[in-house]
């Protein structure tokens, strides 16, 4: 597992990226690393993926980035920094997991 990055918004509206080591994670059981995702391949087909951007806080997704995939009975599987895995509904993800903050 490499460094975890978080995009921060400056007071002037600009953004910076903060990297942290695994030891700097304050609450690893609430820090998502991998999740069920889907994205479009070069042929426009939807394919499965585990790529996950933990800074995403919106349910809307850019067409070029993977989106969360609730394909297991309207639930998603997420692996957290402490090694645990949870299966969550969309509501649970956006109330308990995202937006992610190192608190």
How does pLDDT run across 47-98, given as a tens digit for each residue?
A: 787 776 665 545 655 455 677 888 899 999 999 989 999 999 999 998 888 8
SS3 of residue 77 by DSSP: strand
The answer to whether residue 19 sits within a structural domain is no
What is the count of structural domains for the chain? 1
The answer to whether residue 1 sits within a structural domain is no
Model pTM? 0.72
The answer to whether residue 43 sits within a structural domain is yes
The two structure tokens encoding residue 23: 């030891």
- Alpha-carbon gap, residue 88 to 94, rounded angstroms: 10
- Alpha-carbon gap, residue 102 to 99, rounded angstroms: 10
Q: Which of 91, 15, 27 is nearest to 59 (CA)?
A: 91
The answer to whether residue 80 sits within a structural domain is yes
Structural domain boundaries, residue 55: 26-97
The answer to whether residue 92 sits within a structural domain is yes
The answer to whether residue 84 sits within a structural domain is yes
The answer to whether residue 16 sits within a structural domain is no
- Alpha-carbon gap, residue 100 to 103, rounded angstroms: 9
The answer to whether residue 20 sits within a structural domain is no
């Amino acid at each position: 597992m490499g460094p975890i990055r978080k995009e921060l918004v400056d007071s002037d509206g600009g953004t910076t990226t903060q990297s942290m080591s695994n030891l700097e994670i304050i609450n690893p059981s609430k820090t998502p690393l991998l999740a069920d995702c889907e994205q479009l391949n070069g042929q426009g087909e939807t394919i499965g993926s585990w790529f996950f951007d933990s800074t995403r806080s919106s349910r809307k997704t850019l067409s070029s980035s993977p989106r969360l995939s609730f394909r297991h009975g309207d639930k998603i599987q997420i692996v957290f920094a402490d090694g645990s895995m949870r299966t969550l509904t969309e509501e649970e993800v956006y109330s308990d997991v995202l937006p992610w903050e190192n608190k």
